Amino acid sequence: MARKEKQDVEEPVDSLTDLDILQELLIIQYDKLKDSESEVKIGDILKIIELKHKLQMASGGDAEKTFWKLIEGLRHDEFSKKESAIKSRTLAQKGVKK
């Protein structure tokens, strides 16, 4: 009966994200690890943490924002170099010295 009450309080399975599910698994495994009679392996917990990290990275965390800032910076640098080269050639063709 206690299990049924717990299910009523929890979110429906459809509304849980992958990250939520991994977090729940992590909590369950950690609680089992604290029980000295449990057969939970630390590797299981580490695997859950690794999967959570990969999922966060794939879902557009700060790493993606940093990546796109880096790309934008590189594009800006390259366009600046090309503009300078074009201006230099144009001035050289006109016979103007810097």
What tens digit of pLDDT does each residue of 4-20 get? 444 444 555 567 888 88
Q: Are 24 and 45 in contact (CB under 8 A)?
A: no
Please say if the pLDDT value at position 54 is more than 70.
Answer: yes
Query: What's the pTM value of the predicted model, to 2 decimals?
Result: 0.43
Q: What is the pLDDT of residue 24?
A: 92
Which alpha helices (DSSP H) does 1-98 contain, by range? 2-9, 18-34, 42-58, 62-94
